[in-house]
């Protein structure tokens, strides 16, 4: 056992020496310290289940458009950043020097919280604790001692967190939308410029101005026109989306689209992804739905839109295939279609705006599209990550068992392990993102993003194309993992499905 521990887990002389010392001088049974090392890797095209769900029960499939049916290249985020930055300069009289900043695609991750009054961007875990080392003011990290002093610890009270939809309630705003990546980057860049030039500013005003500038990129149609003018530059994954829609259609499934985007933009994109007959695949198409208000506000009626964008005034008695509808609300949608309950599966990328109300209030099944998942799984499959996590878990188990030994020699070794564990925790964070780490985990706890994902999504995947790997009779089973008070007595768990005849394992 000592040989295995040294060879497979230990990478440093001090740890080997510590293991030898404790195995030789202390009486304990270390066989439980080694986590199972699996040679099986996670397939990035797997669909993962939070809740058991069978596709055999699904009769109707619904979709968001942006980052669900249509996937965008990084050029789009650069475009949004540049336009919003220029709006700040030209219309809000921000300094011309901001033009020195370009979009940084690897600076932020989704799911971060922003303290509007303190102008701090940070990652918070499922228990409302700030992950120290991930708090940034501008483009620079804030020292841990300063963070602890500002928040009187690292816990963020519920009353200053964002509201149910991630919007600013008192102090905090959570950025859950993929489109929010350029917004977070722009906030960081403007903060950085003001601090570098010793410019006194009001953080609340800065947040509101950046939010307005980013909103203008969408509301004024600037982004839509740019994408339509060069669609090949901005849209990707078209063939895979088309294949999913064809598969569902051939199997007699009803389909609908509910999106906040305008019809011209969706029509141009779907013509590129699917073809001019894309509307034949959908039984209902709703644009400019104003989600999440669409799911709660009963007051807005549906309005029919012609192919040329003309709004008609007639009362809607039926939602007809081939027609385009604007606004409306889910209650009217349910009344007109009768599509209720768990026979409906709706896919979207925004956990709050797309999925939360559907699963909590209306009993639809929900699927989250998480494009970042593919990159993170590829990192998890690397030898570096597997070895690092294996040794990190072993160190943690050693510390847990050996902390009872208080003699100086033991404490010296234990302190070495504590230091090494901290170094490895930082290393695992940096593997994913040097500033903020993984989208799904802090050091050991799930992130606040992960907590909401597990609550509001029955299944989640990197893209809709993952559906191509499963037949429409497939049942997704969540992996049963032991609760903290339960012994891990059951065998190694497999992932939620079978992909092309292979068992998929989570390492």
* Residue 200 among the catalytic residues: no
State the Cα–Cα distance between residues 92 and 95, nearest whole angstrom. 9
Q: What count of Cα atoms within 13 Å lies in the side-chain half-sphere of residue 297? A: 12
Query: Which of 500, 473, 503, 495 minimizes the C-alpha distance to 49?
Result: 495
Strands 459-461 and 344-348: unpaired
Q: CB burial class (10 A; 0-12, 13-18, 19+) of residue 81?
A: buried
Marked catalytic residue, from 32, 45, 57, 64: 64
C-alpha of 75 from chain center: 20
> Helix 408-432 to helix 13-25 angle, to the nearest 10 degrees?
140
Tokens of 324: 């385009």
283 carries a ligand binding annotation: no
* Residue 125 among the catalytic residues: no
64 carries a ligand binding annotation: yes
Query: Which of 100, 147, 132, 96 minimizes the C-alpha distance to 443?
Result: 132
Q: Which runs of consecutive H residues, i.e. helices, occur in 329-447?
A: 330-337, 357-361, 372-380, 383-402, 408-432
State the Cα–Cα distance between residues 437 and 141, nearest whole angstrom. 13
State the Cα–Cα distance between residues 100 and 360, nearest whole angstrom. 45
Q: CB burial class (10 A; 0-12, 13-18, 19+) of residue 184?
A: buried
Q: Please give the C-alpha separations between residue 443 and each of 19, 115, 405, in angstroms, as whole numbers.
A: 24, 21, 26
Tokens of 172: 């905090």
The answer to whether residues 168 and 162 touch, using CB atoms and an 8 Å cutoff, is yes
214 contacts: CB under 8 Å, gap ≥ 6 = 80, 84, 182, 183, 186
State the Cα–Cα distance between residues 359 and 346, nearest whole angstrom. 10
Marked catalytic residue, from 45, 66, 115, 177: 66
State the Cα–Cα distance between residues 247 and 241, nearest whole angstrom. 10
Q: Which amino acids are annotated as binding site, given as ranges?
A: 64, 66, 349
Question: Annotated binding residues for Mg(2+), as ranges?
Answer: 64, 349
Q: Which residues are catalytic?
A: 64, 66
Annotated binding site for GMP: 66
């Amino acid at each position: 056992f000592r040989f295995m521990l040294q060879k497979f887990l230990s990478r440093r002389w001090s740890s080997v020496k510590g293991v030898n010392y404790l195995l030789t001088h202390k009486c304990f049974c270390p066989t439980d310290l080694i986590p199972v090392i699996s040679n099986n890797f996670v397939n990035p095209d797997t669909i993962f289940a939070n809740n058991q769900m069978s596709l055999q029960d699904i009769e109707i499939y619904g979709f968001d458009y942006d980052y669900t049916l249509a996937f965008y290249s990084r050029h789009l985020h650069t475009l949004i950043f540049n336009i919003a930055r220029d709006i700040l300069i030209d219309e809000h009289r921000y300094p011309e020097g901001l033009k020195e900043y370009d979009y940084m695609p690897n600076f932020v991750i989704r799911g971060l919280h922003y303290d509007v009054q303190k102008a701090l961007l940070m990652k918070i875990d499922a228990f409302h604790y700030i992950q120290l080392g991930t708090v940034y003011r501008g483009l620079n990290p804030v020292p841990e001692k300063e963070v602890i002093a500002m928040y009187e610890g690292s816990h963020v009270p519920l009353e200053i967190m964002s509201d149910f939809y991630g919007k600013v309630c008192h102090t905090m705003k959570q950025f859950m939308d993929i489109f929010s990546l350029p917004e977070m980057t722009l906030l960081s860049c403007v903060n950085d410029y003001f601090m570098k030039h010793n410019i006194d500013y009001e953080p609340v005003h800065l947040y509101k101005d950046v939010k307005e500038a980013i909103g203008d990129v969408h509301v004024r149609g600037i982004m839509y026109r740019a994408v339509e003018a060069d669609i090949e530059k901005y849209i990707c994954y078209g063939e895979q989306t088309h294949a999913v829609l064809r598969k569902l259609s051939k199997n007699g499934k009803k389909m609908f689209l509910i999106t906040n985007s305008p019809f011209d933009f969706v029509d141009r994109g779907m013509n590129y992804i699917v073809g001019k007959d894309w509307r034949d695949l959908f039984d209902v198409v709703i644009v400019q739905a104003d989600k999440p208000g669409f799911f709660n506000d009963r007051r807005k009626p549906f309005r029919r839109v012609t192919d040329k964008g003309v709004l008609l005034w007639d009362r809607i008695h039926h939602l007809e295939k081939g027609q385009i509808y604007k606004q409306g609300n889910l209650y009217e949608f349910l009344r007109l279609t009768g599509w209720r309950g768990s026979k409906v599966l709706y896919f979207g990328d925004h956990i709050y705006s797309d999925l939360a109300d559907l699963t909590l209030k209306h009993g639809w099944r929900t699927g989250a599209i998480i494009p970042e998942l593919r990159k993170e799984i590829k990192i998890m499959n690397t030898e570096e990550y597997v070895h690092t996590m294996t040794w990190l878990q072993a160190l943690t188990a050693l510390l847990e068992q050996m902390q009872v030994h208080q003699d100086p020699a033991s404490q010296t070794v234990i302190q070495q392990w504590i230091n090494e564990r901290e170094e490895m925790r930082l290393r695992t964070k940096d593997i994913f993102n040097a500033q903020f780490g993984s989208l799904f985990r802090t050091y050991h706890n799930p992130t606040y993003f992960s907590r909401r994902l597990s609550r509001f999504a029955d299944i989640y995947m990197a893209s809709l194309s993952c559906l191509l790997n499963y037949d429409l009779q497939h049942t997704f089973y969540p992996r049963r993992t032991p609760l903290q008070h339960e012994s891990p007595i059951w065998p190694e768990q497999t992932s939620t499905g079978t992909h092309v005849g292979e068992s998929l394992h989570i390492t």
